[in-house]
């Protein structure tokens, strides 16, 4: 009996202090953020309760609305681009090629580099190299920087996000492909399954769990995009590339909208939870069916 | 059996060639960074050849200047300290709570609640914590690198708890039971038996936590920027204005910021790839 108590006590000592730390620096600021969202706090000085006014104003604020539209557009397009290319890359890297580990290592490289510095390098590439290249081949579309265009700057951000994320998703798809036994392919080959058909009916269903992981990872990461925006456009031109995180940071920390942006952050939190949970449910159900 | 002889044990050359061409997308940005970092502003012209040609003479002057401007060694030092301490604390603390929670969550509602409570922290975006945390760390005097470490230990807890408690499922309880029978305490059993057995998971946790903290900008940006010290990525952000239009200097600085992680990747490529894959799939 004494032994049992010793065990219980030790387990509690292993858990409680760490849990308190988690509470203090995760749950407590979360609660405080929710409280601030009902005030007109500017980040300094005194403040008072404003009830739901911040939330009502959020839905009327065009800048906030645009940042949600931009962020979702970016997340959806980048997720599709990244997953299509990653899948192709994974099939290629898992195929019959020489120097497999070299190629895998090389193609994974972008993922370990810091997003901010990568953003700065691509910023230069978009601003100087591509326009200079446009001059050489005489294309007027390429001669101005993509990042300076209100309509197209987001494409630049998609490219940079994709460049780094494809590496990660490819590696996950490769490990998915490696779980498929060799005889599945051979059986498929005997049945005459080739090309896209083979992929659709044989390979894809078997790596569906890895597809789920990639979808959830991608959407969540891209919805929270920040570094790339900071390095490439700082939300411009004309606020056309302001992501939600960037807007909260920019206006909340230095724009005197502390309380208002806290309300924005609460909505953002709810959106992330809804998106992640829905995604896992839909994709989870699909997996069960198979 | 025509298909078989065609498909197996043969190198697929078209794919191979496409893969080699594709490498350009990886190599070109890096080549550009290196070339520009080695040149002087006078060597740069607006034409594409002018930008991408090799430097006329090899000079490390830009690097020396970039190191001075961004206070490179101090930033590197802070980045190293923050990453190393975060990784060490994560391995010790997260494996401990992972063990306690992982072993008890099926039997005890309380531990199961703690498990769900911490793991659901994964859904909390930094954006909502950011503003209150700036106030809170300032009030506690933690608006510096120490505060950043504490925050990282908290932010990586959900993922690492998930990883450790998942890994524990593969370790039979009988192992610990035997140790208890011999009179070993729970605490001792954990350190002597469980902690060493979880070594593969320690490697995964170390890789994921290290990559995440090393490259992170947002946390040091909001917590440390008033303290006068920088991490390596933060220094690039802080000194953007000082580089002005001297891109050669800026690129030397970017390259310096990328070098440590590049070197680490070249040395530990296998462990990093394994770690990343394990972390994502578990």
Note the pLDDT of residue B76.
Answer: 93
Residue among B209, B217, B207, B212 at smallest CA distance from B75: B217
Q: CB neighbours of B74 closer than 8 A, spacing ≥ 6?
A: B229, B230
No. of helices (H) and no. of strands (E), chain B: 20, 0
Mean pLDDT in residue range B16-40? 89
DSSP B239: T
Whether the CB-CB separation of B15 and A93 falls below 8 Å is answered with: no
Q: pLDDT, tens digit, for every residue of A120-161?
A: 999 989 988 888 888 888 877 778 888 888 888 999 999 999
- What whole-number distance in Å separates Cα of residue A101 and Cα of residue A180? 19
User: If pLDDT is split at 50, 70 and 90, which confidence band does A31 have?
Assistant: very high
What are residue A155's DSSP bridge partners? none
Whether the CB-CB separation of B146 and B228 falls below 8 Å is answered with: no
Interface test with A, best of B15, B93, B125 (most A CBs within 10 A): B125
- Say if A110 falls within a structural domain: yes
pLDDT at A74 over 90: yes
Identify which of B48, B128, B134 has the shortest CB distance to residue A132: B48
pLDDT at A289 over 50: yes
- Say if A19 falls within a structural domain: no
Six token digits for residue A21: 């730390």
- Say if A1 falls within a structural domain: no
Q: CB neighbours of B61 closer than 8 A, spacing ≥ 6?
A: B40
Q: Cα B219 to chain center, whole Å?
A: 13
Give B-chain residues touching A103 at CB under 8 angstroms: 19, 23
**Bond preceding residue A237 cis, omega within 30 of 0:** yes
pLDDT at B248 over 90: no
pLDDT at B9 over 90: no
Note the pLDDT of residue A6.
Answer: 82
**What CATH number should be reported for the domain holding residue A107?**
1.10.3720.10
- Say if A139 falls within a structural domain: no
Six token digits for residue A149: 């265009």
Per-window interface: A 102-141 vs B, CB < 8 A = 103-118, 120-122, 124-125, 128-129, 132-133, 135-136
- What whole-number distance in Å separates Cα of residue B21 and Cα of residue B170? 43
Q: Please, what are the domains in chain B?
A: 2-59 (no CATH), 72-238+258-281 (1.10.3720.10)
User: If pLDDT is split at 50, 70 and 90, which confidence band does A188 have?
Assistant: low
pLDDT at A201 over 80: no
Q: State whether A114 and B217 contact (CB < 8 Å).
A: yes
Q: Compute the count of residue pairs across chains A and B with CB atoms less than 8 Å apart.
A: 245
Q: pLDDT, tens digit, for every residue of B46-68?
A: 677 777 778 777 778 888 888 88
Q: Does A43 touch chain B (CB under 8 A)?
A: yes
- What whole-number distance in Å separates Cα of residue A153 and Cα of residue A144? 11
Residue among B121, B145, B225, B146 at smallest CA distance from A30: B121
User: If pLDDT is split at 50, 70 and 90, which confidence band does B74 have?
Assistant: very high
- Say if A70 falls within a structural domain: yes
User: If pLDDT is split at 50, 70 and 90, which confidence band does B136 have?
Assistant: very high
**Domain range enclosing A198:** 31-115+153-289
Note the pLDDT of residue B11.
Answer: 77
Lowest average pLDDT, out of A110-124, B35-49, B68-82, B188-202, goes to B35-49
- Say if A189 falls within a structural domain: yes
pLDDT at B3 over 50: no
Q: pLDDT, tens digit, for every residue of B258-272?
A: 999 999 898 888 888
Q: Which run of H or E residues covers position A187?
A: helix A182-190
- Average predicted confidence (pLDDT) for chain B: 87
Mean pLDDT in residue range B158-164? 92
CA angle A45, A51, A55 (to 5 degrees): 95
- What whole-number distance in Å separates Cα of residue A68 and Cα of residue A63? 9
Note the pLDDT of residue B114.
Answer: 94
DSSP B122: G
Mean pLDDT in residue range B212-234? 88
User: If pLDDT is split at 50, 70 and 90, which confidence band does A191 have?
Assistant: low
pLDDT at B186 over 50: yes
Give B-chain residues touching A28 at CB under 8 angstroms: 132, 136
pLDDT at A5 over 90: no
**Count of structural domains, chain A:** 1
Q: How many beta carbons lie within 10 A of that of residue A138, not counting itself?
A: 8
Q: State whether A168 and B276 contact (CB < 8 Å).
A: yes
- Say if A165 falls within a structural domain: yes
- Say if A58 falls within a structural domain: yes
Q: Cα A83 to chain center, whole Å?
A: 12
Please count the residues of chain B. 282
């Amino acid at each position: 009996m004494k032994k049992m108590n010793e065990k219980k006590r030790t387990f509690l000592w292993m858990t409680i202090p760490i849990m308190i730390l988690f509470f203090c620096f995760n749950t407590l600021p979360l609660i405080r953020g929710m409280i601030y969202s009902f005030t007109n706090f500017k980040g300094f000085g005194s403040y008072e309760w404003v009830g739901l006014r911040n939330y009502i104003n959020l839905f009327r604020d065009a800048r906030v609305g645009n940042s949600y539209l931009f962020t979702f557009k970016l997340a959806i397009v980048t997720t599709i681009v990244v997953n299509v290319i990653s899948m192709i890359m994974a099939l290629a890297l898992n195929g019959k090629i020489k120097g497999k580990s070299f190629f895998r290592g090389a193609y994974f490289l972008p993922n370990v580099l810091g997003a901010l510095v990568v953003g700065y390098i691509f910023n230069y590439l978009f601003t100087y190299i591509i326009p200079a290249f446009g001059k050489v081949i005489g294309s007027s579309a390429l001669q101005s920087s993509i990042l300076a265009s209100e309509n197209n700057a987001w494409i630049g951000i998609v490219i940079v996000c994709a460049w780094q994320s494809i590496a990660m998703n490819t590696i996950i798809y490769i490990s998915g492909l490696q779980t498929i036994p060799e005889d599945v392919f051979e059986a498929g080959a005997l049945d005459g399954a080739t090309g896209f058909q083979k992929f659709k009916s044989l390979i894809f269903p078997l790596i569906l769990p890895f597809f789920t992981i990639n979808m959830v990872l991608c959407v969540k990461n891209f919805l929270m995009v920040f570094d790339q925006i900071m390095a490439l456009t700082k939300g411009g031109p004309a606020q056309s590339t302001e992501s939600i995180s960037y807007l909260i940071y920019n206006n909340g920390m230095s724009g005197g909208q502390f309380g208002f942006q806290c309300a924005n952050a609460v909505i953002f939190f709810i959106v992330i939870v809804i998106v992640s949970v829905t995604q896992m449910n839909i994709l989870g159900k699909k997996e069960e069916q198979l | 059996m025509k298909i078989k002889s065609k498909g197996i044990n043969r190198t697929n050359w078209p794919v191979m060639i496409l893969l080699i061409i594709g490498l350009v997308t990886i190599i070109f940005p890096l080549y550009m960074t290196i070339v520009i970092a080695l040149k002087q502003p006078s060597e740069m012209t607006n034409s594409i050849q002018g930008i991408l040609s090799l430097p006329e003479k090899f000079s490390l002057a830009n690097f020396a200047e970039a190191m001075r401007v961004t206070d490179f060694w101090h930033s590197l030092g802070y980045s190293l300290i923050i990453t190393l301490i975060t990784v060490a604390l994560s391995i010790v603390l997260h494996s401990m709570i992972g063990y306690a929670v992982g072993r008890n969550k099926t039997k005890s509602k309380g531990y199961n609640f703690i498990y769900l409570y911490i793991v659901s922290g994964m859904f909390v975006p930094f954006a909502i914590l950011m503003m209150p945390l700036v106030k809170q760390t300032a009030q506690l005097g933690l608006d510096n690198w120490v505060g950043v470490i504490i925050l990282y230990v908290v932010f990586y807890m959900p993922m690492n708890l998930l990883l450790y408690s998942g890994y524990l499922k593969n370790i039979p309880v009988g192992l610990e039971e035997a140790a208890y029978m011999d009179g070993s305490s729970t605490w001792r059993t954990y350190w002597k038996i469980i902690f060493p057995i979880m070594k593969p998971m320690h490697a995964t946790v170390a890789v994921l936590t290290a990559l995440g903290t090393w490259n992170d900008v947002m946390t040091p940006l909001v917590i440390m920027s008033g303290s006068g010290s920088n991490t390596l990525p933060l220094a690039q952000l802080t000194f953007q204005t000082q580089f002005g239009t001297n891109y050669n200097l800026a690129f030397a600085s970017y390259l310096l910021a990328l070098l440590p992680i590049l070197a680490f990747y070249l040395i530990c490529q296998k462990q990093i790839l394994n770690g990343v894959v394990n972390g994502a799939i578990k």
